[in-house]
Amino acid sequence: MSAAFLSLLSQNPGRIDGDTAKALYAQMPESYRKWVEEDVFVDFMSTTRKNTLYWYDYEAGGTDARTAPVMQHAAIRTDESLRIIDEPLDIYCKLHGDKLPHPQAVAITKINPLHCLMNGIPEPVFFRMILTEMSVPNTCSVGYNSMKYDEEMTRFGLWRSNLPVYKREWQNGNSKWDLLNVTAGFYALYPKAMNWPINDKGNVSLKLEDLSSAAGITQENAHNALDDVKALIDWGRFIKNAAPDYWNYAYHHRTKKQIQGKVGFRQVIAVAKTMYGAERRFISPVLVLGSDAKDRNKLLLVRLDDVEALRDCWRDSVDDLKERLFMKKDELESSGLRRPPLDSIKLNQAPMALNEGFLMQVTDGCENAGLTTDTMKLAQTLKNNPAFLDKLTEVMASEFDNDKPEDPELGLYSGFPTSGDEYNLDLSASQTVEAFYLSPMKWDNPTYLSLWQIGRCRMSGSGIELSDDELLLWKEHCSAKLNRAIEDENDVTLGNVLSLLDESELSGELRASYEQFINEVKKRVT
């Protein structure tokens, strides 16, 4: 958020009259007025509750959101009518020399890793800037496939930076939303809304760049974070204009509380998910089994679109069904087995759950969602056999892994902070980054101290001077990361980076810059 707009909101949290708003607009910087129209500004400042949507995207050097080196974050804030209300944020994160971006990721994003190494914002500062944006009261953070990637990247970045991870998701009227499954539901319920793009396998594609092209949305540089955000907002406008009732339903049912108000125990609903596949129109009728006993945010479901697979469940034991539930697809096919039609949704991840009441308001809504007469009869048969449903619930029961990872940067989900550590995290967010890294706090969980030490090293040269012992510790940290054993094909180390570079589509100046980046990293850690 621009400093001028942030200051304005803090000074004027309530409604102001139109003339005052016009006067304030005239005082805003020219850079702000370039992006925000006067009438939009006046409308926004004249509202009592200033709800905004923070549309954002990351570009990173890998596919694992927990470990991939972050390279770019971009965002644009709009009002609920999807009109831009602030200047964009477009920032690049410093590559600190302990992680190497995958060469193919660089080829796709076209982000110069040498630029990030030399000119990027230190990661602890980078994620403080993002936390500030996402913590503005009444902010809904919106992405595309963000629950599985961008949200995880935010969480782990905040974790590494000794910052509160979860509060910005729900405090002060805040929320998060993912347009991917909203898009899946849009296709399922409104198949004639547009000429849907088809991929090379002959299936409907829900890739943002394909949708943008099909909808006539200009996307100058796909996989540049800011251009992706612009395209995402335009895609949101397309859905909103084509199916306003659906858009409003999806938007107003993005939070756990709202979903729980519409979805009940043993209720038949439809769930839209890309994982259901284009052949099933990305939607499935389901019967709600109930909440997971160990994770109240997880709602357990049995799909009603595969009767034969349900018959298999009737015959087989809980252990057999559990084994098949997580079996690889090729193993299932070679064994002639079916995967149990069991699923779940996370209530705190804005699932696209559609109840019968809404579907009846959409032309052919129940039919397109699979809530047919036969489906309802099947659901009633299942409800008449509670012992069978209890068996399916047991198959789906969570089994938490309590093992703590050795790497402190991966310890986010090893437990919640104590009240003392939570106080320190809140204090960290309220301090300048230089003040936070000046001297260590007392932590109940020693992992936080390890993260503080690593973060302090990442601030070296940016207001923090390291001792000789700290410099040695940082070199050892980088060396261990860069020379670790390769565990999968996505790992990038000094041992395999050159071969990955040869296999990638990198060429010309960008390849030369990547090679120079490698040399700079080697100099810094040896």
> Which helix (H) or strand (E) covers residue 396, if one does?
helix 386-396
- Identify which has the larger pLDDT, 174 or 219: 174
Q: Is 51-248+401-526 a domain of CATH 3.40.50.720?
A: no
pLDDT of the residue at 1: 66
pLDDT, tens only, 383-401? 999 999 999 999 988 765 5
Q: What is the pLDDT of residue 505?
A: 92
Average pLDDT of the segment spanning 199-213? 96
Q: For residue 462, what pLDDT is reported?
A: 84
Burial class (CB in 10 A: 0-12, 13-18, 19+), 27: exposed
Return the structure tokens found at 494: 């000094």
- Section 355-376 average pLDDT: 96
Q: Is pLDDT at 110 greater than 80 in this prediction? A: yes
The CB density around residue 5, as the number of other CB atoms within 10 Å, is: 19
Q: Is 279 in a helix, a strand, or coil?
A: helix
The pLDDT tens digits for 282-295 are 999 999 999 998 88
Residue 54 pLDDT: 98
CB neighbours of residue 465 within 10 Å: 9
Residue 499, SS3? helix
Which of 7-21, 74-88, 437-451 has the least mean pLDDT?
Answer: 7-21
Report residue 224's pLDDT band, with 50, 70 and 90 as the boundaries: confident
Q: Based on the number of CB atoms within 10 Å of its own CB, is 76 exposed (0-12), middle (13-18) or buried (19 or more)?
A: buried
Indicate if the pLDDT at residue 443 is higher than 60: yes
Mean pLDDT (whole number) for 115-135: 97
Cβ neighbour number for residue 484 with a 10 Å cutoff: 13
pLDDT computed for residue 264 by the predictor: 86
Nearest to 35 by CA among 90, 92, 73: 90
Residue 400, pLDDT score: 57
Arithmetic mean of pLDDT, 461-478: 91
Give the span between the Cα atoms of 283 and 271, in whole angstroms: 6
Query: Residue 54: beta bridge partners?
Result: 77, 141
Q: What average pLDDT score do residues 84-94 get?
A: 97
- Domain parsing of the chain, residue ranges: 51-248+401-526, 253-400
* CATH node for 253-400: 3.30.1520.20
Angle between helices 38-45 and 18-27 (to 10 degrees): 130
pLDDT in tens, 69-78: 999 999 999 9
Structure confidence by residue, pLDDT tens digits, 406-415? 899 999 999 9
Buried b / exposed e over 394-431, threshold 16 CB at 10 Å, is ebbeeeeeeeeeeebbbbbeeeebeeebeebbeebbee
pLDDT higher than 70, residue 470 = yes
| Positive or negative: CA dihedral 458, 459, 461, 465 | negative
Residue 24 CA, chain-centre distance (Å), reads 35
- Confidence grade of residue 435 (pLDDT, cut at 50, 70, 90): very high
- At 399 the pLDDT is 64
Distance CA 88, CA 77 (A): 7
The residue ranking higher by pLDDT, 111 or 9, is 111
- Decide: residue 124, CB within 10 A, 0-12 exposed, 13-18 middle, 19+ buried: buried
Confidence of residue 402 (pLDDT cuts 50, 70, 90): low
- Confidence (pLDDT) at 9: 86
Backbone angles phi, psi at 50, to 5 degrees: -90, 75
Q: What percent of the chain has pLDDT over 90?
A: 83
Taking all residues of the chain, what is their mean pLDDT, rounded to a whole number?
Answer: 94
